[in-house]
Amino acid sequence: MKVSIPEDMLEYGLDSSVVIDFAEQEDLQIIFPDEYTLQLDIDSGTQYDAYLSRLEFFKKFFSIKSTEIKPSKEGLPHQHITIKLEHPVTDIERIFLQLVVGSDLKREVYSFLRIQIGDKHPTLFLEKK
């Protein structure tokens, strides 16, 4: 699949190594998902409400072991939601499911583009230590 990379992403850096370098400079914790984990990025109360609504639909098809919600490094209303599933998912499935449940659209598109360039960490969280 051929994709166009937006200018702002080129300036920011498509490869996750740029994000990892930033995290190390800012003394942030890097959290990589395992094969059972979804990492949702929620940026507003409206997105959180959509997440709650979508989650009910999601649970009709997917078994959830646990859910953890906490403020992201930016503070509320920004939140990181970690969902542990009963069954493993691939990176592309993870991104799709995160989008379905209501994660930030821009983040998930960037994660998809990272897969397209072969990045080994298309999805991750940065959190305060």
Encode pLDDT of 82-125 as tens digits: 999 999 999 999 999 999 999 999 889 889 988 888 888 999 88
- Please report which residue ranges of 37-90 form alpha helices under DSSP H: 45-58
Q: Among residues of the chain, what percentage have pLDDT more than 90?
A: 57
Structural domain including 104 reads 7-128
Domain presence at residue 108: yes
Domain presence at residue 100: yes
Q: Among residues of the chain, what percentage have pLDDT more than 70?
A: 88
In this predicted model, which residue has the larger pLDDT, 14 or 92?
Answer: 92
Domain presence at residue 89: yes
Task: Give residue 13's pLDDT band: very low, low, confident or very high (50, 70, 90).
Answer: low
Q: Quick check: helix, strand or coil at residue 94?
A: helix
For residue 97, give both structure tokens.
Answer: 């499911």
101: nearest Cα among 36, 49, 66: 49
Domain presence at residue 49: yes
Its sign, for the CA torsion 89, 66, 57, 105, is negative
Domain presence at residue 1: no
40: nearest Cα among 73, 68, 77: 68
Domain presence at residue 21: yes
**pTM of structure:** 0.86
Q: How many domains does the chain have?
A: 1
